[in-house]
Amino acid sequence: MHKEWLARIIVIVLVATAIAIPIGAWWVRSQGNVIHARMAETGGWTPENLTTEVGQPLHLRLTSDDVMHSFAIGQSDQPAVDVIPGEMTEVTLTFDKPGKYTFYCTRWCSVNHWRMRGTIEVTGPETTAEAVEPPLYVTLGLDIDAEHHTEVIPEQMPSAVRGAKLGVNIPAEYQSHEYYLSNSPVELWKALREESSLSRHGDQDLWDLVALTWQSNTRPQDLTEGMQLFATNCAACHGEAGAGDGVFADDLDQPKTGEHAVMQAGEMTTLPTDFTDPDHMLAASPAHLQGKILRGGMGTGMPYWGPIFTEEQTWALVAYLWTFQFETED
């Protein structure tokens, strides 16, 4: 009899221990600031909205529940850290300005990779409302969703080098940075075509001059930074060479049935833009491109990058995009 009770107690104690360990561990773990990363299809970041105060260090422990992700904060110098399945990555963040920050994944984890975003709301003692200027495309009143085509396609890729060799003086009004930002290459080309002083030059010569003007508005460091940003954030869909053939391009073009319907989360998507196609690229102004980057392409699957890139970064990216259309010095 005593033996039977001893046996029962042993079984109950052992089973209770086996249950208590995971429950206890679960409780201990829930006390820490753990953020779980999952592919956007299965939930993205959990939790996805964090709050903290200016100057208060925010300790985060990051882990992934599926594949490797990465944690980065938009418009910040905080370096991206990898978030690895079954491991904990610890980061400590301190914000010196109040506002709403976006954190996001920088690993191409799935076709909806860019949807892996969350926010950190940083509250401060005083809310020094900085005047936020609307982006240029808004000031200009550009309809960035309108169809745009180039009437005159250059016979060969416009070259800034050839343009410089022509030794032509481009009227100063077209050389200003403001002109560059708000006009498309084809608009400049048409304006130059109207110039009587340039009437003896052929159409291709004028395209080379357009390339030269664009180059003169671009700093080499912008191209370097733009290239890095493009490779990290854009090439997944638009392809390394800008031809709209990135690794996820095919998925974005899939019919929305079967397995892919889940992948797309019901979103309508289109094939990524091909930056090597002169027809629509040459008819777009830098302000237009920046608008697309900031706001995203409504109904196309193109993410909005406004909360992630700084203004300098968006202009650097725009500058880099033109290298798919114009030959530059090196």
Partner 1 sequence: MNRLQEAAWEERVSQGSSEPIRSRRLTLPERIDLYRIPWIRPLLQSRWPQFLIRSLTLAGFVFTIAAGLFGSRVGSHNFAIIFVWIAWWTALKLVFIPLGGRSWCSVCPIALPGEWLQQGGILEKRHRRFGLNLRWPKRLRGSWLQSSGFLLIGLFSALTLTNARVTAWVLVGLFGMAIVLSLVFERRAFCSYICPIGGFTGIYAKTAPVEVRVIDTKICAAHSEKTCYQNCPWGLYPVALRDSSQCGLCMECLRSCPKDNIAVNLRPFGSDLGQARQSSRLDETFLALVMIGSALAFSAVFVGPWGILKSAAFAIGSPAWALYGLGFLALNLVVMPGSFALAVWMGQRWSGYKTQLRRAIANQSQVLLPLGLFAWIAFTISFALPKLNYVLSVVSDPFGWGWNLLGTANTTWSPDVSGFSPILQVALLLIGLLWSTSVAWRLAKVNNQSVFRQTLPILTFCLVFSLAMLWLLVG
Return the beta strands (E) in the chain as ranges: 34-37, 45-46, 49-53, 58-64, 69-73, 81-83, 89-93, 99-104, 117-123
- Residue 48 Cβ vs partner 1, minimum distance, rounded to whole Å: 17
Which of 167, 202, 255, 258 binds partner 1 (CB under 8 A)? It is 258
Binder among 53, 54, 58, 66 for partner 1 (CB under 8 A): 66
Should residue 255 be labelled a site residue for partner 1 when binding is judged by CB under 8 A? no
CB of 44 closer than 8 Å to CB of 16: no
Q: Pick from 125, 100, 94, 205: which is nearest to 158 by CA?
A: 205
The CA-CA-CA angle for residues 109, 113, 117, to 5°, reads 120
Closer by beta carbon to partner 1, 29 or else 219: 29
Choose the stretch contacting partner 1; rule: CB under 8 A; options: 20-28, 46-54, 160-168, 195-203.
Answer: 20-28
Among 48, 58, 61, 300, interactor with partner 1 by CB under 8 A: 61
Residue closer to partner 1 (CB basis): 41 or 225: 41
One character per residue 83-102, x = contact with partner 1 (rule: CB under 8 A): --xxxx--------------
Neighbours of 12 (CB within 10 A): 10
Residue 23 contacts partner 1 per CB under 8 A: yes
Pairing relation of β-strands 58-64 and 34-37? parallel
Residues 164-193, interacting with partner 1 (CB under 8 A): none
Tokens linked to 183? 């006009």
CA distance 273 to 253: 12
CB 94 within 8 A of CB 55: yes
Provide the minimum distance between the beta carbon of 43 and partner 1 in the complex, in angstroms, as a whole number. 10
Interface with partner 1 (CB under 8 A): 3-4, 7-8, 10-11, 14-15, 17-19, 21-23, 25-26, 29, 38, 61, 63-66, 85-88, 258-259
